[in-house]
Amino acid sequence: AKELGRNQYRFFTESLHDQLQAYIRFSREMPKALETNSFILEYQPQVSLKTGAIIGVEALVRWDHPELGIVSPQRFISVAEETGFIVPLGRWVLKTACKTLKHLALHQMSHIKVAINLSSRQFRDPNLLTMIRQMLQEYDVDPACLELEITESLLMHDIGLAIETLKELQALGITIAIDDFGIGYSSFNYLKTLPINVLKVDREFIKDIPDHLDDMEITAAMISMAHRLGMTVVAEGIETQVQQVFLEEHHCDIGQGYLFSRPIELSKLMVLLTKQDAK
Ligand code: C2E
Ligand code: CA
Ligand code: CA
Ligand code: CA
């Protein structure tokens, strides 16, 4: 027990030290990384649970660091949010996603949607709408192909302003998804007042299916209530066929997870989509 205690203590202090080091290092290096084109956008397929076809992708950012290798967004997004760097980074993500949408349309794949993650800081940026409008125009993107994933915490800051912004985005033809649903303060009573098209059930509820009956019941209830509110449901983090079958039986619309594909680079996505078109 003594040994464990000491190790835990060491782990704790090292982790704090690492966090601080990473914060200082990343906040200094990130702006340069954008200039040297060191961020990468990967795409994770979203599959129709009715037809099995890939109907969209979620774009996920990575950092190809000269010394550290590929750095996960779990390590640098929170730093980018705190320093404000998320605004230029988010702009790069949107721009890259728009280029990809243009590329898809040029290859007769204009039915594929691209979803990007929007952080709270970006959402509160007064230039957001203008920037999105300009970007859609510059790359000649059909707004119906762009989906924005937001979280509940983003809505908390100023619910009135959030609803206004969401409505304006929807008026442009953009789809709004609520990400990581179920783990925060979410309530359906509150959700019904919001202009949201898609609900993404968090992996937390999916990962223990079929071992945890309560997760299965909650998931089934979330799907049926979301449908009642007219929303499309995406289940995140599907890793097994048992989970897929459970979700299909409960009429979940779309699945995303390692069972179908990990996040992949654009060229690999094009191969998958071309194969599927050939069938
Ligand atoms: P998220 O938006 O919830 O994205 C889903 C995460 O789950 C991704 O992690 C994805 O790789 C992972 N995942 C997908 N399927 C499975 C599965 O079957 N099993 C498991 N264990 N994991 C799965 P990733 O790429 O590391 O991204 C982590 C988080 O970083 C994202 O969570 C999102 O919150 C944030 N993020 C990523 N890209 C961006 C971005 O461009 N902008 C912003 N603001 N945040 C981003
Ligand atoms: Ca997401
Ligand atoms: Ca998510
Ligand atoms: Ca998550």
Structure tokens at 200: 């993404």
And the tokens for 100?
């990809």
pTM: 0.94
What residues pair up with 147 in beta bridges, in sequence order?
115, 175
- 248 alpha carbon, distance to own chain's centre: 22
Instruction: Return the best residue to mutate from 34, 39, 46, 60 for the ligand 1 pocket (most ligand atoms within 8 A of CB).
Output: 60
Atom of ligand 1 nearest to the CA of 236: 15
- Choose between 87 and 6: higher pLDDT: 87
Q: Which residue puts its alpha carbon closest to atom 7 of ligand 1?
A: 237
Q: Which ipTM did the prediction report? A: 0.98
Q: H or E segment at 56?
A: strand 54-65
- Identify the nearest ligand to the CA of 115 by its number: 2
Summarize pLDDT for 210-251 with one digit per residue, the tens. Answer: 999 999 999 999 999 999 999 999 999 999 999 999 999 999
* Pick from 112-116, 157-161, 217-221: least confident: 157-161
Which one-letter DSSP state was computed for residue 72? P
Pocket of ligand 1 (CB under 6 A): 44, 60-61, 72-74, 77, 90, 93, 116-117, 119, 179-180, 203, 237-239, 256-258, 263
Q: What does DSSP assign to residue 88?
A: H
The ligand minimizing its distance to the Cα of 181 is: 3
Neighbours of 55 (CB within 10 A): 15
- The answer to whether 242 and 264 are in contact (CB under 8 A) is no
Q: Whose CA is nearest to atom 4 of ligand 1?
A: 60
Both tokens assigned to 231: 């929303």
CA-wise closest residue to 143 among 184, 97, 178, 185:
97
